[in-house]
A and B are shown apart, each in its own frame.
Chain A
Amino acid sequence: MQMPKVNRNESTSLHEQVAAEIRRAIADGEAAQGERLPPAIDLAAILGVNKNTVIRALHILRDEGVLDFTRGRGTRVVGTPERSVLFMKMNELLALAREQGYRRDELVSMILSVR
């Protein structure tokens, strides 16, 4: 599977794009649960972004419960691929809704109304 690098012209912020790329990579099985991610500087070099952008993306994924940071042990994958897939799809949905002019709370209401 071929993936594009991040797109600076896209309305989605760079760190969100990077988070999406990492999420997708985990969902594709590039790093299994418990495995350590490569250093942010190397991820940044592959993606063509600044290291701080990757770090910000990693923080998002930690907040989502996908990654865990332990001092001295690096960044580890703690979430399942399924969880990553779900987050990835939700983010795509969020991006689509934003593109169509819907706010986040409107999208949440729509999801809650679905039976």
Chain B
Amino acid sequence: MTLIKERPKPKVNDPIEVLIPEARQRSRQRRLRAWSLVILALILGLSAWVGSGGLNSSTNRVSGGRPTHRVIPVLAIGTVMKASSVVGLKMFTPSRGLAISTTWNASHQKAIQSYLTATKNAGDSWKIVGRLPMPMATPLMAFISPTEGYVAGYQQANSSFLTLNGGRTWTKVAVKGLATALSVSGNSVWVIAGDCPLKYQQGPWCATYLNVLAPGDLKPTAIRPITVNDPQLRATIPKAPSTLAARFLARTGPQGALVVEGADGPNSILSTTDAGRSWRMVNNPCKSVFVGAAAAVTSSRWYLFCSLDGGMQQGTNLLYETWNGGTNWTLLAQGHIQGANTGGLTDGVMGNFATNSTGSVLWYANIDGAINVSTDGGRNWLVNRKAIASMWSPVGFVSVGSSAFEALSVGGLIRTTNGTTWAVVRSK
């Protein structure tokens, strides 16, 4: 038996000249083909994008000039947006802050996409840091830090979200009711949300809840109804249910807040100092005049702005101050439609009202676009300028240091750096 068996004759394939140079040439050709495909794809993509209008996309028109449709691209992270896109904001310093910027359809009637944007230049430009899961026309914001915060669409269903990474990702937050205000103080985030029966989409027949969250929570640790069941108020509303609609006025501390109960009807001012476990009725100096807004300087020092109602524009503007948590109120200024004009307070319908951190400077924006400023704690007022176009309404003042900002509905931003001189921020 032989150990060495005969091996089959090897089959020789096609010979090759050189191995490594041939492989190198093939590698070069392969890379060239890949780059050609990439460049071709880029050219095709770019031409499609330019065809749709690009960043400044507007209504496409056929030769006859008839509008066809508007294609609004989803903007990439890092894209810089103009201040005119801002619909809500939170400033951490006079120069740095976050905003929600929204793109709109051609008629500015419908929000298309909302983004979380950041500024480092006091709002001159806003860079996209994240995309919101849904478009928000009137967003509410409560940010604990530049990376961690909550957003919600005003009275927008299923629109409460949390981000823990500066807007890159969002997680849905389950709150009871439709959010009407978000507030953060200390380590406590509150979502004030209304829950209206289908039959009554607004008005005093809607219950309001205080959803209490700790930063990072995806559902409330407590849901507390806002009510004191004021018998006097209740007597004015026949067949009233157990709770009445409440509107958030001001946060008076980590555990405290002021709300007005009764929505657009007769009003009661309620106060809590235990995160909504109990509510007490506060002496209401506005009486029959609509409770417009309030601002808290400390837990017991508050300003109260009684305003013309937005419908029939009845009543007058009155500004009160209390130093003892609403037990006593002092009238500081009064409008001129009914009674004497005190302190030069004008009588527009109040859009927004706020104070700086010390209570020395006060701002009041009426819905006609005028900004009224007081630099002596509310005693004397000057109309600063018609800073806001009348089609826009103020969304909310944000005061930080000597600067203050206000976002406008349908996009836009006004700013003051000295507390008194306001101007529209126009991005280059």
Interface residue ranges, A against B (CB under 8 Å): 1-11, 21-22, 24-26, 28, 30-31, 37-39, 41-43, 45-48, 99-101
Interface residues of B in 1-24 (CB under 8 A from A): 3-4, 7-8, 10-24
Cβ contact within 8 Å between B19 and A47 = yes
Cβ contact within 8 Å between A42 and B24 = yes
CB distance from B9 to the nearest CB of A (A): 8
Interfacial chain A residues near B4, Cβ < 8 Å: 99-101
Categorize the interface residue count of chain B: 20 to 34
Cβ contact within 8 Å between B10 and A30 = no
Interfacial chain B residues near A101, Cβ < 8 Å: 3-4
Among the interface residues A2, A3, A46, which one has the most CB atoms of the partner chain B within 10 A? A46
Closest partner residue, chain B, to A18 (CB atom): B19
Interfacial chain A residues near B26, Cβ < 8 Å: 38, 42, 45-46
Cβ contact within 8 Å between B16 and A30 = no
Q: A4-B14, A47-B19 known; 4 other A-B pairs, CB under 8 Å?
A: A5-B15, A8-B11, A21-B19, A30-B18
Cβ contact within 8 Å between A11 and B23 = no
- The majority secondary structure among interface residues of chain A is loop
Interfacial chain B residues near A30, Cβ < 8 Å: 18-21
Closest partner residue, chain A, to B22 (CB atom): A46
Q: A42-B30, A100-B4 are in contact. Are A3 and B24 (CB under 8 A)?
A: no
Closest partner residue, chain A, to B15 (CB atom): A2
Interfacial chain A residues near B10, Cβ < 8 Å: 7, 9-10
Q: Can you name 19 A-B residue pairings with CB atoms under 8 Å?
A: A1-B18, A2-B17, A3-B17, A4-B13, A4-B15, A5-B14, A5-B15, A9-B8, A9-B11, A28-B18, A38-B26, A38-B27, A39-B27, A43-B20, A43-B23, A46-B19, A46-B23, A46-B26, A101-B4
Cα distance, A30 to B20, chains bound together (Å):
6
CB distance from A35 to the nearest CB of B (A): 9
Cβ contact within 8 Å between B11 and A7 = yes
Cα distance, A24 to B16, chains bound together (Å):
13
10 nearest A-B pairs in the assembled complex, by CB-CB distance: A38-B23, A30-B20, A5-B13, A2-B15, A42-B23, A25-B19, A42-B27, A42-B26, A38-B27, A38-B24
Cα distance, A35 to B312, chains bound together (Å):
86
Contact of A3 among B3, B8, B16, B21 (CB under 8 A): B16
Interfacial chain A residues near B13, Cβ < 8 Å: 4-7, 48
Cβ contact within 8 Å between A46 and B27 = no
